[in-house]
Structure 1
Amino acid sequence: MKKAISLFVLVLFFSCNGSAQKNETKEKETYPVTKTDKEWKEQLTEKQYYVLRKAGTERPFSSPLNKNYEKGVYHCAACDTPLFKSEHKFDSGTGWPSFDREIKGNVAYGTDNNLGYSRDEEHCATCGGHLGHVFNDGPKETTGKRHCINGVALKFVPSEE
């Protein structure tokens, strides 16, 4: 019985220690655009704040940008950084705006383990806002990538043509 309790305490110690280290690393990330939580709440809508600042996910098929086929550029809704071009957008059928590539240097990547398995998370490289995830099931004739992005995290800027 003592061995079982010792093992339990040991496992508990290491699992807590691992979480603390992960949170410590996350807090140290800095971005060119930083604001307090209060400032983000004042600037963003409730849904934008939930997705961009709390890594939430909007309901599928809820964004008007999912079926937007106009020419232009999709910017970060929080800091206006250009993230994706309309020419790289495709209909994935998933219910979220999808792109086969990002604008290089403007999207940063991390690992998301919130669902119990690892996913490649995408966030704005300028403000750190959560955008969505990237998967390897995109169009094979281009990059093979599917950047699955929350529409509420984006602001569409139509081209001036």
Structure 2
Amino acid sequence: MKPSPRPYAVDRTEEEWRAALSPAEYAVLREAGTERPYTGEYTDAKAVGVYACRACGAELFASETKFDSHCGWPSFFSPLAGDSVEYLEDRSLPGRPRVEVRCATCGSHLGHVFEGEGYDTPTDQRYCINSISLTLRPTENT
């Protein structure tokens, strides 16, 4: 997994991000914070649609890849497209290296991806994503 090239397609100053996002959104999306488990609006969502980056609107995950991992955050087994997210090494927790997931369009923090932990998914991966990093665009019933 390689990071996307920079600069980002959506490249704002931190002042512009602060003006565009709520304080809670800014803390997660721009400062790599984490919302409390089981508090996010999409943790248990079942609606059909596409999950987009709340900061820039880039499409990230399809609802068909969402599954209930009982971890407290929305979980997906793959991104919508391979280049829609980027991956960075995260050693912020002592003794537990992780892989951070960011929006490849604007560089905003989304969450983390975990592999090889026995997930019953086609990819054996769990993208553990903060609800506050996402916006659900429901698919219209036709």
> TM-score scaled by structure 2?
0.90
Is 1:35 matched with 2:12?
Answer: yes
Counterpart position of 2:92? 114
Per-residue deviation at 1:139?
3.1
Q: 1:133 corresponds to which residue? A: 112
Identity rate, percent: 46
Output the TM-score relative to the length of structure 1.
Answer: 0.80
Structure with greater contact order relative to length (CA < 8 Å, sep ≥ 6): 2
Q: Who wins on radius of gyration, i.e. which is larger?
A: 1
**Over aligned residues, Cα RMSD in angstroms?**
1.4
Unaligned runs of 5+ in 1: 1-27
List runs of 5+ in structure 2 lacking aligned partners: none
Residue deviations 1:65-114 (CA, integer Å, cap 9, x gap): 00110000000000000000000000110100000000121011011111
Please say if residues 77 and 121 of structure 2, whose CA atoms lie closer than 8 Å, have aligned partners that are also in contact: no
The size of the alignment, in residue pairs, is 134
Give the one of 77, 96, 112 matched to 1:100: 77
Match of 1:145 among 92, 106, 125: 125
1:79 to 56, 65, 69: 56
SS in 2 for 1:74: strand
**Greater strand fraction, Structure 1 or Structure 2:** 2
Q: Is the contact made by 1:134 and 1:146 (CA closer than 8 Å) also made in structure 2?
A: yes
State how far apart, in whole Å, the 1-side matches of 2:87 and 2:10 are.
Answer: 17
Separation in structure 1 between the aligned mates of residue 121 and residue 134 of structure 2, nearest angstrom? 26
Note if contact 2:113-2:126 (Cα within 8 Å) is conserved in structure 1. yes
Q: Measure the CA separation in 2 of the matches of 1:140 and 1:66.
A: 18
Look up the equivalent residue of 1:119 and give its one-letter code.
Answer: R
Given that 1:138 and 1:146 are in contact with CA atoms closer than 8 Å, whether structure 2 keeps it comes out as: no
